[in-house]
Amino acid sequence: MSILSSYRHGVKEASRRPNLCLLIWLFNFIFASLAAVLFYGAFGGALGSSRTAADLSPGAALNAVVEFLATSQTAVRELTAAAAALIVLNAIASVFLNGGILNVLLRRRTGEGFAATFFSGAGRYFGRFLKLAVYSLVLYIPAGIIFSVLHGILRQVAREPVREQLGFVLFFVRIAVAMFLISCVRMVLDYARIAIVNQDSRGVFEELGGALRFVASRPVPSFGLYCLLAATGIGMFAVYLGVRTCFEEKSTALILAGFFWAQVFIVSRGWLRVAFQAGQADLFRSAEHPRRQHEQRLDEIENGVDREAEQSERQRQQPDERVEDKSEEGDRPTDHEKQQP
């Protein structure tokens, strides 16, 4: 069980499945387009032909938002409700995607095409993954309690006059702790989904407990692989920001180039999502492999004992069979007796 081997496996699987990455991009593009139409429609309708709305330069963008919030409470409420509905739909679509992704990565070779494999897995595991999302509260609630307790302790520390300079540092400590807790919960859920698809299990809560035991028994490889893949995502985001600065000028060609580069980044996020699932699945299977080998060895031993018992029984019965053959041969007339008149 190696972190680097699972990481390489995840990268390789994601790179050899461009159709899966493009399908994830398509889902993201649809929801991003709906959000853009929703926001700009409400924004433009509320501001109308105001001077601020007509000049959305970087310096006037904040003024436009302030004007929108101050003068359009009804539009803000409608936009908030629509955004909440869109977030819920996006979460449901993500559950649907997880089933399809894992079914493509872990499926047995049945000869089905990509679309049939993806959508059959997405539909097959949708209900189970939806239950898993509800059961995840068993993990998120304790994580929230831990963060609240730590937040209270850090706030008491920052209140002391001598340690006021630690406030800035403790702010980043809170962010780091929150990210760590969220990553742990998401990692456990990832392994639970992998176990459900790998074993085609309907015991969602049992697999969640098994995934928790898996991560707790292997904290270094599981969290190390997660951090390595997350660092890959951070590196890709840094590259995106670095290249994005080249498209700051407002010319038509650069705007189109910037849009294209943004879509490339979204595709790379889909690629990273597939790499996460494939790498963690490889780690899960490699950890379970020794147990399967042990069970297979026990079956072979039992089968060997059964074969030895059958052979010994056959050998024990062979002398009786030879005696019966000889007795039958003794009762038969000889060729000379047959020729006698």
Looking at per-residue confidence, does 306 or 196 come out higher?
Answer: 196
For residue 231 the two structure tokens come to 């660092």
Q: What's the whole-model pTM score?
A: 0.73
Average pLDDT, integer, range 236-256: 81
Residue pLDDT, tens place only, 209-239: 999 999 999 999 999 999 999 999 999 999 9
pLDDT for the residue numbered 61 = 52
| pLDDT (0 to 100) of residue 291 | 44
Type of residue numbered 191: Y
Round the average pLDDT of the chain to a whole number and report it: 78
* CA dihedral of residues 130, 136, 141, 147 (deg, nearest 10): -120
Listed in sequence order, the residues at least 6 apart from 92 whose beta carbon sits closer than 8 Å to its beta carbon are 130
Burial tier of 57 (Cβ tally within 10 Å: 0-12, 13-18, 19+): exposed
Identify whether 179 is part of a domain.
yes
In this structure, are residues 282 and 9 in contact, taking their beta carbons and an 8 Å threshold?
yes
> 76 exposed, middle or buried (CB, 10 Å; 0-12, 13-18, 19+)?
middle
Kindly tell me if the per-residue pLDDT of 327 is higher than 60. no
CB 232, CB 238: distance < 8 Å: no
Tell me, yes or no, whether 118 lies in a domain: yes
Domain that holds residue 183: 3-307
In this structure, is residue 289 part of a structural domain?
yes
Is residue 321 one of the residues assigned to a domain? no
The better pLDDT of the pair 299, 67 is held by 67
CA distance 104 to 119: 9
* 335 within some domain: no
CB-based contact 122:97 (threshold 8 Å)? yes
pLDDT confidence bin for 6, thresholds 50/70/90: very high
| Per-residue confidence band for 162, with pLDDT thresholds at 50, 70 and 90 | low
Q: How confident is the model at residue 312 (pLDDT cuts 50, 70, 90)?
A: low
Most confident listed range (81-90, 120-129, 165-174, 325-334): 120-129
Confidence check: pLDDT of 139 > 90: yes
Q: What is the mean pLDDT of residues 97-121?
A: 84
**Beta-carbon neighbour count of residue 190 at 10 Å?**
22
What average pLDDT does this structure show over 38-62?
54
What does the pLDDT read at residue 187?
94
Q: Is the pLDDT of residue 87 over 80?
A: yes
Number of domains in the chain: 1
Say if 334 falls within a structural domain: no
Would the pLDDT of 51 be above 60? no
Asked whether residue 331 is domain-assigned, the answer is: no
User: What does the pLDDT look like over 197-215, one tens digit per residue?
Assistant: 988 889 999 999 999 999 9
Q: What is residue 48's three-state secondary structure?
A: coil
| Confidence label for 305 from pLDDT (cuts 50, 70 and 90) | very low
Cβ pair 307, 38 in contact under 8 A = no
Residue 7 carries which side chain, given as an amino acid letter?
Y
Judge whether 65 lies within some domain: yes
pLDDT tens digits, one per residue of 61-72:
555 555 555 556
Count CB atoms within 10 A of the CB of residue 251: 9
- Enumerate residues 6+ apart whose C-beta is below 8 A from 90: 31
As a whole number of angstroms, the longest Cα–Cα distance in the chain is 135
